[in-house]
Amino acid sequence: MVPWPIALLTLFYGVIATLSAAMVWRTAHGEVSVQFAWAALWLICSGGAMCGLPLLRPWGRALAVWTSALLIVATLAMAGVLVAAGRPGIGLAVTLSAACHYLMIRYLQRPSVKTWFEGQEPATSRQ
């Protein structure tokens, strides 16, 4: 059974994969002028994390960590663009949203979470 925190992370990456797939589709049909490689990269990374997390595979956890790190960089870059455009309030809000991705990385690095991905049950204290 997939633990509920991992299921929520999978749902989050599923939303990102869906948005990325829509962007790939719109880029392929010429509706938007975004570079196809970036949209495809987001689709591959988020799709891999979405599939690897519920399977409790070590590569899925590693891919989720890397995808979250990339999302932090993209979020902070977006915040910088907003501040440069003269919208510092929204830029600050976007900057604070990067904490969500950081917390996901911290959660996936916990020893008890790592044991789920190594095929072992996490140690629980019985009293």
| The model's pTM | 0.76
Q: Report which residue type is found at 10.
A: T
Q: Are 34 and 78 in contact (CB under 8 A)?
A: no
Show the tokens assigned to 13: 């990456």
Distances (CA, A) of 110 to 52, 55, 93, 116: 17, 18, 27, 10
3-state secondary structure of 47: helix
pLDDT along the chain (127 residues), means of 10: 89 90 90 79 84 88 89 88 92 90 92 85 51
The domain limits of the chain are 4-117
